[in-house]
Amino acid sequence: MSTETYKNELDLACDKFRAILESQLKRVENMKAQGGFIDYSALDTLIIGVCGGDGIGPTITKESRRVLEFMLKDEVAKGKVVFRDIDGLTIENRIAKGKAIPDDVLAELKACHVILKGPTTTPQKGSGMPNIESANVAMRKELDLFANIRPVKVPEEGINWTIFRENTEGGYAVGSSGFNVTEDLACDFTITTKQGSDRIARLAYDYARKNGLDRVSLVTKANVIKTTDGNFLEDCHAVAKEYPEITTDEWYADIMTAKLVDKKRRASFKVILCPNLYGDIISDEAAEFQGGVGTAGCANIGKRYAMFEAIHGSAPRMVNEGRAIYADPCSMLRAAVMLLSHIGHQDKADRLERALDICAFEEKRLTITGRDTGATCEQFGNYVMDTLTSLS
């Protein structure tokens, strides 16, 4: 092959690569300039934006909002908390505007403090839909929600894991900017920055310290993805030095997926800290032990904004088969627990968590099966609110 053969293709690829690196360097500078976390207690009014999303999203988000409004009714009456509907994060509108998050929707999101968001449909290459970026991924990046925190609990097995997934980097940072260099050669990119690894590690170790958890497990594939995963490990270890009471251990992502099914070992994991993609995969696997992804919620935390959502997708099949009303709202209710905790209502968060544990694991007066053999989403919401009332 002469160097001239692919000259144009290589020049074009280098230009694209340069643009990616420039935008990532700008992001690094922004991270360096960033201050501390917003103090919600200093706000006169806290605004909670609510986006229903697609598929079963509006159904399960409505239930979570209803429970949140029930728990925050005094704060709402006093004007301390406001719920604000944000429309337009639907797949139809995103396709019409040709953007993962249309500009007007983004402006509305940025006018809130925290967001309760239902699952959104992500177009996949070859699906016939335009290649727009996932709304989740775009929101995490636009609002700089760098930590995705995913708790999983199976009380009878002693499982109580909190997964800290880095949320703005790795394979997701420029996941829609990969390209075909020639018709034979394709390239995607994975990104790690010192600032990005440091801030997620700090949050995970702080969480472990505050909750008296003495172990953090790092998950990478640093044996193969040597530079980016290698740096992530190094940066996490540097943070770990400031937490001498906490033991840090390292796992490769493949063996971690195996150990999570090992009943003798798995209960000993506590905090699991990982780059974006491994966190995505491991958190679905972890949620399966608790009853499936439908039962798991998560917090996406940044310094200025935070967003709370289910860990699963929009389940369009359930809607097509007319089963949306039977969707399990537990993921969005668990997300509501994390929202309450994040805005400083730990007592309310604890009560809702207790009510959910009673409804989903202990008393189980209603079960959700995803079809007409089980309760509806709304009936389950009522059950949770009845349980909350009986707790107080």
Q: How far apart are CA 300 and CA 160, in angstroms?
A: 19
Amino acid at 264: K
Residue 136, contacted partner among ligand IPM, Mg ion, none, CB below 5-8 A by kind: ligand IPM
Q: What does the buried/exposed string (b/e) look like for 315-332 if buried means 16 or more CB atoms within 10 Å of the residue's CB?
A: beebbeeebbebbbbbbb
Tell me how far, at minimum, the Cβ of 314 lies from ligand IPM, in Å.
8
Q: Which helix (H) or strand (E) holds 352?
A: helix 346-357
Tell me how far, at minimum, the Cβ of 220 lies from Mg ion, in Å.
18
- Closest-by-Cβ residue to ligand IPM is 134
Q: How far apart are CA 371 and CA 374, in angstroms?
A: 6
Q: How far apart are CA 330 and CA 324, in angstroms?
A: 14
Among 61, 64, 90, 122, binds ligand IPM (CB under 6 A): 122
Please say which residue, 55 or 102, places its beta carbon nearer to Mg ion. Answer: 55
Q: Half-sphere exposure of residue 38, counting CA atoms within 13 Å on the CB side?
A: 16
Tell me how far, at minimum, the Cβ of 278 lies from ligand IPM, in Å.
11
Q: For residue 47, what are the β-bridge partners?
A: 82
Residue span 280-319 as binding mask against ligand IPM, x where in contact by CB under 6 A, dash where not: x------------------------------x-x------
Residue span 261-280 as binding mask against ligand IPM, x where in contact by CB under 6 A, dash where not: -------------------x
Region of 95-103, 129-137, 262-270, 359-367 interacting with ligand IPM (CB under 6 A): 129-137
- Closest-by-Cβ residue to Mg ion is 280
Tell me how far, at minimum, the Cβ of 316 lies from ligand IPM, in Å.
12
Lookup result for tokens 């089980």:
374
Q: How far apart are CA 71 and CA 67, in angstroms?
A: 6
Tell me how far, at minimum, the Cβ of 206 lies from Mg ion, in Å.
24
Q: How far apart are CA 363 and CA 351, in angstroms?
A: 16
Tell me how far, at minimum, the Cβ of 311 lies from Mg ion, in Å.
6
Tell me how far, at minimum, the Cβ of 126 lies from Mg ion, in Å.
19
Q: How far apart are CA 171 and CA 232, in angstroms?
A: 13
Please say which residue, 125 or 241, places its beta carbon nearer to ligand IPM. Answer: 125
Please say which residue, 280 or 353, places its beta carbon nearer to Mg ion. Answer: 280
Q: Which residues are at the interface with Mg ion (CB under 5 A)?
A: 280
Of how many residues is the chain composed? 392
6: left (phi over 0), alpha (psi -120 to 50) or beta: alpha
Please say which residue, 240 or 282, places its beta carbon nearer to ligand IPM. Answer: 282
Residue 122, contacted partner among ligand IPM, Mg ion, none, CB below 5-8 A by kind: ligand IPM
Residue span 132-161 as binding mask against ligand IPM, x where in contact by CB under 6 A, dash where not: --x-xx------------------------
Q: How far apart are CA 99 and CA 113, in angstroms?
A: 22
Decide: helix, strand or coil at residue 325: helix
Q: What does the buried/exposed string (b/e) look like for 195-211 if buried means 16 or more CB atoms within 10 Å of the residue's CB?
A: bbbebbbebbbebbbee
Interface residues with ligand IPM (CB under 6 A) are: 122, 134, 136-137, 280, 311, 313
